[in-house]
Amino acid sequence: MITPMKKLTLLCLERDQHKTLTELRDLGVVHLVHVEAPEGADLDSARHKLSLAEKALDTIRRAAKEADPGQALGVPDQGSPVDLVATIEQMTDHRATLTEEQHGLLQEKARIEPFGDFDPSQLNDLHHHGLTLRLCRSAEKNPIDLPEGATSFLINQDGETAYSLVIGQGPVQFPGHDVAPPTQSLGTISSRLDAISVELATIDSTFAGHGSAPAALVIHVDTLSEEADFLEARSGMGSAERIAYLQGYCPAERVASIESAAGEHGWGTVIEETSPDEMVPTLLKSPKWVQPIKAVFDVIKILPGYREQDISIVFLIFFSIFFAMLIGDAGYGLLFLAGTWFARFKMKKAPSYPFTMLTVLSIGTVIWGTLTGNYFGMPTQHAPFSGFQIDWLTDQKHIMSLCFLIGAVHMTIAHVWRMLTLLGSKKALEQVGWICVVWGMFFHARNLVAGVEAPGFTNIMLGGGVVLIALFMATLQELKTEWINLAMLPLSIVSALVDVISYIRLFAVGMASLAVAQSFNEMALGIGFSNVFAGFCAALILFFGHLLNIILCGLAVLVHGVRLNTLEFSMHMNMEWSGVPYTPFARTHTQRTE
C-alpha cells in the first residue's frame, strides 16, 4: 500500500536553525521540500568536497578492479581520508596531463615516422649554410614539381604515398606537399612515450594499492554527503521576522513523533492534508511476500505516484508468469535457481529481496518448462519429469489462446480495480463497459489469430460495453473540457484489441527461444562427439549458443515482461508511474553526536 502523507510546516527561531535541523535529522521522518533554492558558499564548498571524494573512491575501486592479480602495486601513504582525496586528485590531474601529452606525441610520431629518425637541429644547421631542406609527402601519381636547382631524395614509400627530402638553395616551396619539420627526433619521442607509459603504470598501481582504503574513504564520503544534505536543508529554509521555517511531508503514522519533538524543542508546527496539485512523495509498504518485486522496481526505476495505486501484488504475480513463459525452459530455470542460491551464499550480507525475487522467477520457469516439456531445447520423451508434461500446451493454437486469456484477465483486473475505487460514482459503469470491451476483443483476437470461433454474444457484449463507456466516461459538465476523449473513443476501442493481441509476444518470444536452443543443439550434433576435438567443438557450440540464448531471453524479459505490466496493464489502470521516492532528511551514515 501507499503510505498516507501529511504536509508539515515547521517554524523555529533563526538562531536555532542548526539545532532544529539536527534534531529533525535525528527523527528521520520528514521528506523536505525546499522553500528557497539551496545556495551559498558553504553549500558549494561541501558539494565540491563530496564530488572530489566520490571521484577518488571511484578511481581507487576502478583501478583495483582492473589491476592484474600478479601486478606489483604501489605502496600507499597511510594518511587521513582528506589527505588521500587530495593525493588522488593531484595524481588524477597529473595522469590527465600525461595522457594528453601521450596522445600528442603519438600523433607526432605517426606524422614523422615515415621520414626516419634524425636530429631536427641538423636541418637548421644546413639552412645557415645556404641550403634549404624540406620534408615532402606526395602521391605516386602526382609527383612533386621540383624547381630548378632542387634535388629530391626518396626516403620511404607506403603504398601509393612517397616520403621525400628535397634539398635546394634559397626559398623552396611545395604547396600541398610540405611537411612541417619535427621539433624533436623520433628517438626522443619514443623515449618520452616509454617514460610516460612507465609513469602512467606507476600511477595506476598506486591507485590500485589504495585498495584497502575504501572502507575509510566510504565513511568519509558518507560523512561529506550528510554534511552537504544538512547545508542544503538549511539554505533551503525560508525566513521572516527572525523566524525560520521549512516544509515537507511526513507519514501520517509518524506525525505524533513530530508533534512530541515540537513540544520538547519549542517548534511551531502546522499539519495539513495534502492537496491534489502537490508532488507528494511515495512510500510503499507491502506485505513481506510481495517485497521481492522491489528488486524489479529498483532495476527499471519506476514508482507509482502518491495518488495512484500500488499494484505490487499484481505486478509480482503476472511478471512471474511472463518471465516463465518468455524463458520457457526448465533447464534454464534450474541454472537460474542454482546461480541465485550460489550468489546468495557468496553475498550473505546483501539484502534478501533480490534473491527471493530471482528464486520465485526461477521456480516459475522450471514449472512452466516442465509443463511444456522444454529442457534446453532437447526432445522430451526421455526428459526428467516428462510425465508432468501437459499435451494441451504443446499445441501452438492453445498457447496463443492462453496468452490472450492471460491478457484479458490482466486488463480486467485493472478495470475492476478502478471500478472499486469509483464505487458510488456513475463512472464505475464506464469500467464495466471496458471490461465488456476487453473480453469482446479477447474473443475476436482468439478468432483472428488462433482460428477459434467467437461466441455469438461477442458483438452484443462489445456493443454494450461501448455504449456504457460513451454514456458514463464523463459528466455533461466535464464534456465541455474533455470532449476530445469521447471523440477519440473509436481509437481507444481499437487500441483495446491491439492490447489484447500484444500478449501474443509471450508465445512468440518463447517459441523463438526454443528455436534458437534447438538450432544450436543441431549444430553441435552435426559436428558430433566422435573424437576429442569434435567433442570439444560441439561443447563450445552448446555452451556459447545457450549462453547467447539466455542473454537474449533476459533482454526479452526486460523489454516484454516489463512492458506488459508498465504499459498495457498500466494504461488500463490509468497509471503514469509518476512517483517521487520518499527520502526523509535523516542521519543515515554517522552516529548522533551530542
CA angle 64, 70, 72 (to 5 degrees): 70
Pairwise CA distance, residues 97 & 559, whole Å = 43
Secondary structure (DSSP) of 547-578: HHHHHHHHHHIIIIIHHIIIIIIHHHHT----
Bridge-partner residues for 238, per DSSP? 245
The mean pLDDT value for 137-162 works out to 75
Q: Looking at the predicted structure, is the pLDDT value of residue 246 above 50?
A: yes
- Please report, for residues 62, 199, 477, the alpha-carbon distance to residue 74 in angstroms, rounded to integers and kept in the order given: 15, 12, 76
For residue range 455-502, list pLDDT tens digits in order.
999 999 999 999 999 988 877 777 777 778 778 888 989 999 999 999
Answer yes or no: is pLDDT of 141 > 70: no
pLDDT score for 362: 95
- Percent of the chain at pLDDT > 70 equals 92
Residue 69, classed as helix, strand or coil, is: coil
Confidence of residue 591 (pLDDT cuts 50, 70, 90): very low
Q: What is the pLDDT of residues 157-194, one digit of tens each?
A: 887 788 888 887 766 666 556 788 888 889 999 999 99
Nearest to 451 by CA among 495, 493, 398: 398
CA–CA dist 579, 341 (Å, integer): 33
Cell representation of residue 251: 507519514
**pLDDT given for residue 397 in this prediction:** 92
Looking at residue 129, what is its pLDDT?
Answer: 65
pLDDT class of 138 with cuts at 50, 70, 90: confident
Mean pLDDT of the chain: 88
Contacts with 426 (C-beta within 8 Å, 6 or more apart), sequence order? 472, 475
pLDDT band at 429 (very low <50, low <70, confident <90, very high): very high
Cα separation, 285 vs 398, whole angstroms: 38
What is the mean predicted confidence (pLDDT) over 560-588?
Answer: 91
DSSP string, 307-336: TS---HHHHHHHHHHHHHHHH--HHHHHHH
Q: Are 216 and 11 in contact (CB under 8 A)?
A: no
Distances (CA, A) of 123 to 148, 155, 177, 190: 21, 15, 18, 20
pLDDT over 90, % of the chain: 59
407 Cβ contact partners less than 8 Å away, ≥ 6 residues apart: 442, 499, 500, 502, 503, 564, 568
Neighbours of 247 (CB within 10 A): 18
Q: Where do runs of H (alpha helix) occur along 301-426?
A: 312-327, 330-346, 353-372, 396-421
Residue 75, pLDDT > 60, answer no
pLDDT at 213: 76
Nearest CA among 331, 300, 313, 376 for reference residue 561: 300
- Determine the Cα–Cα distance for residues 322 and 152; give it in Å rounded to an integer: 75
In angstroms, the CA 410 to CA 564 distance is 9
pLDDT attached to residue 593: 40
3-state percent breakdown (helix, strand, coil) of the chain, nearest 5:
65, 10, 25
Nearest Cα neighbor of 15 from 227, 221, 237 is 237
Q: What is the pLDDT of residue 381?
A: 61
Cα–Cα–Cα angle for 584, 588, 592, rounded to 5 degrees: 110
Measured in degrees and rounded to the nearest 5, phi and psi for residue 277 equal: -90, 5
- Residue 111, pLDDT > 90, answer no
Res 277 pLDDT > 60: yes
